[in-house]
Amino acid sequence: MSAAPVTSPSRSRDGTAASLLNDEERTRIRAKSAQFAPPAAALPDGRRDLVGLSREELTDIMVEIGEKPFRTKQLWHWIYHQGATDFSRMSSIARPLQEKLAERFIVGRPGVVTEQTSQDSTRKFLFRFRDGQEAETVYIPDRQEDRGAVCISSQVGCTLSCTFCHTGTQALVRNLGAAEIVGQFMAARDSYGEWPSPKGDTPRLLSTIVLMGMGEPLYNYDNVAKAMRIIMDGEGIGLSRRRITLSTSGVVPMMDQCGAELGINLAVSLHAVRDDLRDEIVPLNRKYPIREVIAACRRYPAASNARRITFEYIMLRGVNDSEADARELVRLISGIPAKVNLIPFNPWPGSSYRPSTREQLERFANIVMDAGFASPIRMPRGRDILAACGQLRTESQRLRRAERTDTAPDPAGA
């Protein structure tokens, strides 16, 4: 295994200083993240949710109730390989123990508020968690093949306020817990009946995960990391780290940690090639400027020619879509195993941007492509069910708020 860039002792003095700085930053980010911690994964009657626990935690719990540690393996198999939610279905476990488990625990799922399927087969879920908070998950099937990507949310709302993103106009409500993050994927698998988990190279319908839903996953790193470890565990869901992509707006210190610990694919929401513009449209740039974001990409350990970093670039008419921008982009990322995902802007009520013209998109894409980078234009999917990036969650919220005022006043004042 390669050494983690996080605290590598072999670094130059400058490098070591940078690592220490990053350590401080990580501590600060974690402390802030803890203020938005999710509620305990348990029912009001005290029964705990077994979903979202690490193997070690599950083992501790078994020992606590007087059971042998090997029960972890059995339970893990039923929960994550078979997809069982009912202890009475766990046939390798004797009935008295099934009953004992059912008295103390549940195998939970988020509640499905709505599930809509688009004409292009994209399926959008609005999930409600135990405290009533909601998040959206989208399944985007491949047009040609029997596989597809599940787009998962990591937070309810977002602390960042990228000017083109409607989610960014909503305050961060809270982080999602590991159970809620894994639960989005498991509930989507329930919807397609994809249990037991396909083994090895057996094709999967829900074949990849993109952490590109609501929120900034690297501001909820611990829960996201725990959830991804559960999903990657070979005795359960067993999804390869090569099939998981985390999208970040550029939380540099956590990019290092993510690469060193999880080794999943990285997508970076770059969106601008000059600091003055990126400061404005991705305000996190004021903290971690382009130079630092690109440097973190260069040292990202999981990147290789086979596993390229994705640079996401939203195409805003007359703002960031000139040919000079395209040339600067190519210069910035030269030498990085990368592809550039060009995202046509999805307008939302009140947004001041317009999407780039088709011609400009193509001119931009050609410059990037001629420099040797794949530059697919990401076509909006599921428009008829409001499944476009940055729009959907807000629509759902507004609708739901209207529904609530139609019926009864909201005691929480939400």
22 marked among binding-site residues = no
End-to-end CA distance of the chain: 48
Question: Where does this chain touch ligand SF4 (CB under 6 A) — which range of 158-166, 195-203, 258-266, 369-377?
Answer: 158-166
Query: Cα 67 to the chain's mean position, in Å?
Result: 35
Let me know if 389 is a catalytic residue. Answer: yes
Which one of 165, 176, 187, 340 is in contact with ligand SF4 (CB under 6 A)? 165
Q: What is the largest distance, in Å, between two alpha-carbon atoms of the chain?
A: 70
215 marked among binding-site residues = yes
- Residue 277 CB, shortest distance to ligand SAH, in Å, is 14
Question: Where does this chain touch ligand SAH (CB under 6 A) — which range of 124-132, 176-184, 187-195, 338-346?
Answer: 338-346
Reduced to 3 states, what is the DSSP secondary structure of residue 319? coil
- Residue 375 CB, shortest distance to ligand SAH, in Å, is 15
247 marked among binding-site residues = yes
Q: Which of 136, 151, 180, 312 is labelled catalytic? A: 136
Q: Which positions ≥6 away from 175 have C-beta within 8 Å? A: 33, 36, 37, 38, 154, 155, 156, 215, 219, 220, 223
Closest to 391 (Cα-Cα) out of 138, 216, 221: 138
Which one of 165, 173, 228, 303 is in contact with ligand SAH (CB under 6 A)? 165
Q: Are strands 265-269 and 309-315 parallel, antiparallel or unpaired?
A: parallel
Determine contact, residues 270/313, Cβ cutoff 8 Å: yes
Token duo for residue 344: 């046509």
12 by Cβ neighbours in 10 Å (0-12 / 13-18 / 19+) ranks as exposed
The item of ligand SAH, ligand SF4, none sharing an interface with residue 54, based on CB under 5 to 8 Å by kind, is none
Residue in the shown chain whose Cβ atom is closest to ligand SAH = 390
Query: What is the number of other CB atoms lying within 10 angstroms of the CB of residue 244?
Result: 20
- Residue 308 CB, shortest distance to ligand SAH, in Å, is 16
269 marked among binding-site residues = yes
Token duo for residue 202: 């057996």
The item of ligand SAH, ligand SF4, none sharing an interface with residue 90, based on CB under 5 to 8 Å by kind, is none
Q: Which positions ≥6 away from 288 have C-beta within 8 Å? A: 250, 251, 252
Give the C-alpha distances (Å, rounded to integers) separating 393 from 75, 161, 165: 34, 15, 11
Determine contact, residues 155/175, Cβ cutoff 8 Å: yes
Question: Where does this chain touch ligand SF4 (CB under 6 A) — which range of 63-71, 98-106, 154-162, 366-374?
Answer: 154-162
Closest to 247 (Cα-Cα) out of 282, 201, 215: 215
- Residue 153 CB, shortest distance to ligand SF4, in Å, is 9
* C-beta of 208 vs 285, nearer to ligand SF4: 285
Considering only residues 212-251, where is the footprint of ligand SAH by CB under 6 A? Answer: 212, 216, 247-249
Q: Which of 151, 258, 297, 389 is labelled catalytic? A: 389
- Residue 395 CB, shortest distance to ligand SF4, in Å, is 15
Q: Rounded CA gap, 140 and 197, in Å?
A: 19
Using CB under 6 A as the binding rule, whether residue 343 contacts ligand SAH is answered as yes
The item of ligand SAH, ligand SF4, none sharing an interface with residue 5, based on CB under 5 to 8 Å by kind, is none
Q: Going residue by residue from 293 to 332, which x/- string records binding to ligand SAH, judged by CB under 6 A?
A: -------------------x-x------------------
Within 74-203, strands assigned E span 105-106, 111-117, 123-128, 134-141, 148-151, 155-156, 174-175
Let me know if 258 is a catalytic residue. Answer: no
Task: Give the count of residues interacting with ligand SF4 (CB under 6 A).
Answer: 11
Task: Give the count of residues interacting with ligand SAH (CB under 6 A).
Answer: 15
346 marked among binding-site residues = yes
Three state DSSP letters for 228-253: HHHHHCCCCCCCCHHHEEEEECCCHH
Q: Which positions ≥6 away from 154 have C-beta within 8 Å? A: 175, 176, 181, 211, 213, 214, 215, 216, 217, 220, 223, 224
Which one of 52, 83, 148, 168 is in contact with ligand SF4 (CB under 6 A)? 168
Which one of 49, 180, 216, 325 is in contact with ligand SF4 (CB under 6 A)? 216
Binding-site residue positions for S-adenosyl-L-methionine: 215-216, 247, 269-271, 346
Contact residues for ligand SF4 (CB under 6 A)? 158, 160-162, 165, 167-168, 215-216, 249, 269
Question: What are the residue numbers of the active site?
Answer: 136, 389
Per the annotation, binding residues are 158, 162, 165, 215-216, 247, 269-271, 346
Binding interface with ligand SAH (CB under 6 A):
164-165, 212, 216, 247-249, 269, 312, 314, 343, 345-346, 389-390
